[in-house]
């Protein structure tokens, strides 16, 4: 070992990169580890070798299985030494090696001996090591000692056992749960950290028992908790109890609010902050409850400690989202934080100010931000951009300076996400603030002149095509668009061609010139660009004559594609080339609800140019194929909608039956999916007897029995009803499963010849109004709403009575109507007192319906709702109101 382990001071001064581990090498250290096997152990030398081994592990060196085992075995020899320091290193080493089960056995007895030793340090550490490496079987052997250790006089031993309990609860909950008496005793300990660990463990043991947690909290909030850490835990548990009990109490009182407020006067900053944060996060917190918490946070803002300032400003930033007025008092302190050395603090301060600022302070703020933007990271910039967007929506008069700011930062360097955030913001501002439209569009035009992101270019071109022709001087945009045809890649060129065509379609004066440009595109090198140019020239009548653009052409160019792309893709895949052209009208329009996992995170609304999320492949095709293969139903026409399966039997009954409701224009077909769960039975001639006496408008026209239903292979039987055409008839149906049952010999699988007729009662089934509405999303609700016009708008207000929460009321109405929520508006942000939800759908008879729901809390729990419906048919608008009124 040629290590420069030299002690003389003058030598060390020469060696600049001096390190005791200089030139260390794994193989050599492993060789050195042989000293562990010496009969005469030298504790100091052994400690030193262990340190070297730990150093190697710490640097990311990996020991092979063989090496690790060898080291482990030699380390176990060191238990012979009585040296305290060495033993301590041995404990750390064993934990680092994380031995396998058969290796653990080698040290178990040594560790168990240490666990019962008189030396506190041995007991504490042996417990921690043993619990770290042990498995369940060993745990039962040492359980007795662990329970004793929890109530040990020595706080270090007690803490070691409790913390080990916290870890073991994850793997062996049933064992740890048996210790709750001891843990309970430890909660009363005078040692601060023991109390903290005991409280953490006790709560985890009882966390699923709401009553027990409630009792624990109410007894401790009255008693004295010594350690600040334990006090923080108690605050967390208290707000959890408040959260869970919030739904039950009708009064405005909060059971433990006084405790939280009291903690604001605690002497430890950590506790004060924990309590302040807990108060700001209470559901439906009132401004009176907020004030004391805001006051302590405000004090923290001017602290000399960056961590305190950060914690306070981060919390206030969150409060500003829901209660901007409560934070305005802190604005002066906040402004001084803009120049904070710590950029995270500065960013949070700025975004908070943007949320709480008033109109007069905007210009001053923008000046401060401009200096600041250049030296923060993209992630912070995005936060600032989003805050500026919402500020601009709040103060539309300030759009000029804010829009200028956005266009300035758009020209600077930045990554895709940042640029997209800016472009999205500008697009939203253009949509919502009419005065900002022309300047905003020009900013976007300038941006695509030098934009490296194809996605953004095409999105902006598309947007220009919609908004540009409606401006006072559309011609000024043409140059920017046509430049793209020369300078960009094929995707952008194709997008530019479409945009040109839209200008041509909308602005007659520009037509001749547009035709010239489009004709030039016919010589493009890319197929798609040429195809588009040809298509548009033909649809717009590019043979020279300037004719008024037909309505269907406009619809083709501007109308939204109301078919989910996935469905279109599926239909195109299934289409077989033949004489019959592909008909887009036969593509199913239903958006299948997405599985929960795919849903976007709540509060993350798709904004601006973002396309609606694609739905998963639908089962509509499968149903349609199935039904059209049955001759009785073949003449019912096009399937309008199929419901999700409704269970008609309890789980785990003899026969499992669910039903799918297929809605046609003047028929309804019930598809009963039956499963026979009895191996000894074969069912034959299975039908469902439907009693439609509570569904007056329905008349049974056909029934298709299931010939045979063997064990565990599902089959279907159908019943069809006629109903008045295009009318959303509703009704209740009672069902009886009738069949002939035959005994089956389980050994041979053969059925007997004779069967017995039998019946089986199923649950009732309802056809409801939502069955007549298809979930069809629109990509831009506002555009759709405006283009639908107010001709058949129906508005009315409803009281929904007391509800658990606003979100619950919103979901209830969405379910009742069975329509597609748009733009993420089905998500209600917590603590809000009002919410607007946008729904779209297609009513039977292919009538588009758009619904705007405005919810508000009226009193503590009562929910009021304003319902505005627009559709292409006034009877449909009325029908929607009727559904809500009767629902």
Q: How far is the CB of 607 from other proteins (least distance, A)?
A: 21
Among 89, 316, 448, 863, binds other proteins (CB under 8 A): 89
Positive or negative torsion for Cα 488, 493, 497, 499? negative
Among 31, 286, 287, 593, binds other proteins (CB under 8 A): 31
Among 70, 261, 269, 432, binds other proteins (CB under 8 A): 269
Footprint of other proteins on 310-349 (CB under 8 A): 310-311, 314, 341-342, 344
Q: How far apart are CA 641 and CA 662, in angstroms?
A: 6
Place of tokens 């498995």: 135
21 binds other proteins (CB under 8 A): yes
Among 154, 184, 218, 240, binds other proteins (CB under 8 A): 240
Q: How far is the CB of 312 from other proteins (least distance, A)?
A: 9
Among 229, 316, 460, 591, binds other proteins (CB under 8 A): 229
70 binds other proteins (CB under 8 A): no
Q: How far is the CB of 117 from other proteins (least distance, A)?
A: 13
Among 11, 19, 508, 801, binds other proteins (CB under 8 A): 19
Q: How far is the CB of 329 from other proteins (least distance, A)?
A: 22
79 binds other proteins (CB under 8 A): no
Q: How far is the CB of 601 from other proteins (least distance, A)?
A: 13
Q: How far is the CB of 491 from other proteins (least distance, A)?
A: 32
Among 77, 147, 167, 704, binds other proteins (CB under 8 A): 167
Using an 8 Å Cβ cutoff, are 533 and 521 in contact?
yes
End-to-end CA distance of the chain: 85
Footprint of other proteins on 198-227 (CB under 8 A): 200, 203-204
Among 11, 20, 374, 613, binds other proteins (CB under 8 A): 20
Q: How far apart are CA 221 and CA 215, in angstroms?
A: 10
In the structure encoding, which two tokens stand for residue 11, read together? 């030598």
Q: How far is the CB of 228 from other proteins (least distance, A)?
A: 8
DSSP lists the bridge partners of residue 659 as: 646, 672
Positive or negative torsion for Cα 396, 398, 400, 402? negative
Using an 8 Å Cβ cutoff, are 128 and 164 in contact?
yes
Among 126, 160, 242, 436, binds other proteins (CB under 8 A): 160
Among 26, 42, 738, 881, binds other proteins (CB under 8 A): 42
Residue 362's alpha-carbon distances to 201, 395, 601, in angstroms, are: 50, 9, 31
Footprint of other proteins on 114-143 (CB under 8 A): 121, 128, 132
Q: Which residues neighbour 770 within 8 Å (Cβ) at sequence distance 6 or greater?
A: 815, 816, 817, 818, 819, 883
245 binds other proteins (CB under 8 A): no
Among 85, 262, 746, 799, binds other proteins (CB under 8 A): 85
**In terms of DSSP bridges, do strands 699-704 and 715-722 run parallel, antiparallel, or are they unpaired?**
antiparallel
Q: How far apart are CA 670 and CA 673, in angstroms?
A: 10
- 3 state SS of 693: strand
CA 531 to chain centre: 40
Q: How far is the CB of 237 from other proteins (least distance, A)?
A: 7
By the 10 Å C-beta count (0-12 exposed, 13-18 middle, 19+ buried), 831 is classed as: middle
Footprint of other proteins on 818-837 (CB under 8 A): none
Residue 854's alpha-carbon distances to 246, 833, 840, 864, 869, in angstroms, are: 24, 11, 15, 8, 11
CA dihedral 635, 639, 645, 646 (to 10 degrees): -70
Q: How far is the CB of 44 from other proteins (least distance, A)?
A: 4
The nearer residue to other proteins, 272 or 773, going by C-beta atoms, is 272
CA 39 to chain centre: 61
Q: How far is the CB of 138 from other proteins (least distance, A)?
A: 18
Q: How far apart are CA 172 and CA 139, in angstroms?
A: 9
- 3 state SS of 757: strand
DSSP lists the bridge partners of residue 688 as: 737
Q: How far is the CB of 93 from other proteins (least distance, A)?
A: 10
The nearer residue to other proteins, 344 or 607, going by C-beta atoms, is 344
Q: Which stretch binds other proteins (CB under 8 A): 97-105, 159-167, 546-554, 779-787?
A: 159-167
Footprint of other proteins on 45-64 (CB under 8 A): 45, 47-48, 50-51, 54-55, 58-60, 62
Q: Which stretch binds other proteins (CB under 8 A): 2-10, 505-513, 616-624, 722-730?
A: 2-10
The nearer residue to other proteins, 108 or 342, going by C-beta atoms, is 342
Q: How far is the CB of 45 from other proteins (least distance, A)?
A: 6
Neighbours of 628 (CB within 10 A): 13
Q: Which residues neighbour 566 within 8 Å (Cβ) at sequence distance 6 or greater?
A: 614, 615, 616, 617, 618
279 binds other proteins (CB under 8 A): no
740 binds other proteins (CB under 8 A): no
Q: How far apart are CA 797 and CA 345, in angstroms?
A: 45
The nearer residue to other proteins, 124 or 709, going by C-beta atoms, is 124
How many chain residues are in contact with other proteins, going by CB under 8 A? 75
Q: How far apart are CA 264 and CA 299, in angstroms?
A: 12
């Amino acid at each position: 070992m040629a290590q420069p382990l030299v002690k003389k001071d003058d030598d060390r001064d020469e060696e600049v990169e001096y390190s005791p581990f200089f030139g260390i090498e794994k193989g050599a250290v492993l060789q050195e580890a042989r000293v562990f096997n010496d009969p005469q152990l030298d504790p100091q030398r052994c400690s030193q070798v262990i340190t070297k081994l730990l150093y190697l592990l710490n640097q990311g060196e990996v020991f092979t299985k063989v090496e690790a085992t060898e080291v482990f075995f030699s380390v176990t020899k060191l238990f012979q030494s009585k040296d305290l320091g060495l033993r301590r290193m041995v404990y750390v080493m064993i934990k680092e090696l994380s031995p396998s089960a058969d290796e653990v056995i080698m040290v178990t007895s040594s560790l168990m001996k240490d666990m019962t030793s008189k030396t506190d340090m041995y007991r504490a550490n042996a417990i921690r090591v043993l619990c770290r490496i042990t498995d369940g079987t060993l745990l039962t052997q040492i359980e007795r000692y662990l329970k004793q250790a929890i109530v040990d006089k020595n706080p270090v031993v007690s803490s070691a056992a409790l913390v080990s309990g916290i870890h073991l609860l994850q793997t062996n909950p049933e064992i740890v749960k048996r210790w709750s008496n001891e843990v309970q005793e430890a909660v009363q300990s005078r040692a601060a950290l023991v109390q903290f660990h005991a409280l953490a463990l006790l709560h985890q043991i009882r966390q699923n028992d709401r009553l027990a947690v409630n009792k624990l909290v109410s007894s401790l909030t009255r008693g004295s908790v010594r350690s600040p850490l334990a006090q923080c835990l108690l605050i967390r548990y208290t707000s959890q109890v408040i959260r869970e009990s919030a739904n039950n109490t009708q009064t405005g009182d909060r059971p433990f609010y006084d405790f939280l407020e009291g903690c604001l006067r605690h002497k430890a900053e950590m506790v004060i902050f924990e309590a302040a944060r807990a108060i700001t996060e209470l559901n439906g917190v009132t401004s009176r409850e907020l004030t004391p918490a805001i006051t302590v946070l405000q004090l923290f803002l001017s602290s000399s400690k960056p961590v305190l300032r950060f914690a306070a400003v981060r919390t206030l930033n969150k409060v500003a989202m829901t209660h901007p007025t409560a934070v305005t008092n802190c604005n002066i302190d906040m402004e001084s934080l803009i120049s904070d050395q710590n950029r995270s603090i500065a960013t949070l301060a700025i975004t908070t100010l943007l949320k709480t600022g008033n109109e007069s302070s905007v210009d001053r703020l923008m000046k401060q931000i401009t200096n600041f933007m250049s030296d923060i990271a993209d992630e912070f910039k995005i936060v600032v951009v989003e805050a500026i967007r919402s500020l601009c929506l709040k103060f539309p008069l300030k759009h000029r300076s804010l829009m200028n700011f956005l266009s300035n930062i758009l020209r600077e360097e930045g990554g895709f996400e940042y640029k997209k955030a800016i472009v999205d913001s500008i697009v939203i501002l253009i949509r919502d603030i009419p005065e900002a439209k022309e300047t905003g569009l020009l900013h976007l035009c300038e941006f695509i002149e030098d934009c490296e992101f194809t996605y953004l270019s095409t999105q902006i071109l598309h947007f220009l095509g919609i908004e540009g022709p409606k401006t006072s001087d559309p011609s000024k945009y043409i140059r920017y668009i046509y430049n793209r045809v020369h300078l960009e890649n094929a995707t952008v060129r194709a997008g530019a061609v479409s945009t040109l065509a839209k200008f041509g379609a909308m602005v007659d004066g520009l037509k001749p010139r547009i035709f010239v440009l489009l004709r030039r595109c016919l010589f493009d090198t890319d197929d798609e660009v040429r195809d588009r140019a040809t298509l548009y020239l033909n649809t717009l009548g590019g043979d020279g004559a300037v004719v008024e653009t037909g309505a269907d052409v406009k619809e083709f160019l501007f109308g939204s594609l109301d078919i989910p792309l996935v469905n279109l893709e599926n239909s195109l895949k299934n289409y077989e080339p033949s004489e019959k052209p592909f008909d887009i009208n036969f593509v199913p329009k239903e958006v299948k609800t997405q599985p929960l996992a795919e849903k976007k995170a709540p509060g993350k609304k798709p904004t601006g140019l973002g396309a609606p999320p694609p739905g998963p492949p639908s089962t509509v095709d499968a149903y349609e194929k199935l039904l059209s293969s049955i001759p009785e139903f073949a003449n019912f026409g096009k399937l309008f909608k199929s419901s999700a399966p409704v269970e008609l039997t309890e789980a785990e009954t003899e026969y499992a039956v669910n039903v799918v409701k297929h809605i046609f224009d003047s028929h309804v077909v019930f598809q009963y999916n039956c499963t026979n769960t009895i191996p000894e039975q074969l069912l034959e001639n299975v039908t469902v007897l439907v009693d439609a006496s509570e569904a007056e408008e329905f008349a049974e026209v056909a029934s298709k029995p299931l010939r045979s239903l063997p064990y565990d292979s599902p089959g279907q039987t159908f019943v069809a009803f006629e109903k008045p055409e295009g009318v959303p008839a509703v009704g209740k149906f009672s069902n009886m499963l009738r069949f002939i049952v035959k005994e089956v010999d389980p050994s041979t699988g053969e059925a007997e010849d004779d069967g017995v007729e039998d019946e089986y009662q199923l649950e009732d089934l309802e056809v409801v109004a939502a069955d007549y509405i298809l979930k069809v999303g629109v990509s831009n609700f506002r555009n759709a709403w405006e283009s639908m016009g107010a001709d058949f708008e129906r508005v009315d207000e409803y009281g929904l009575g007391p509800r658990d929460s606003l979100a619950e009321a919103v979901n209830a109405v969405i379910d009742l109507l069975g329509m597609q929520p748009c733009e993420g508006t089905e998500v209600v942000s917590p603590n809000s007192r009002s919410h607007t939800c946008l729904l779209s759908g297609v009513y039977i008879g292919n009538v588009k319906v758009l619904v705007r729901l405005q919810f508000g809390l009226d009193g503590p729990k009562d929910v009021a709702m304003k319902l505005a419906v627009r559709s292409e048919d006034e009877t449909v608008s009325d029908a929607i109101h009727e559904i809500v009124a009767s629902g």
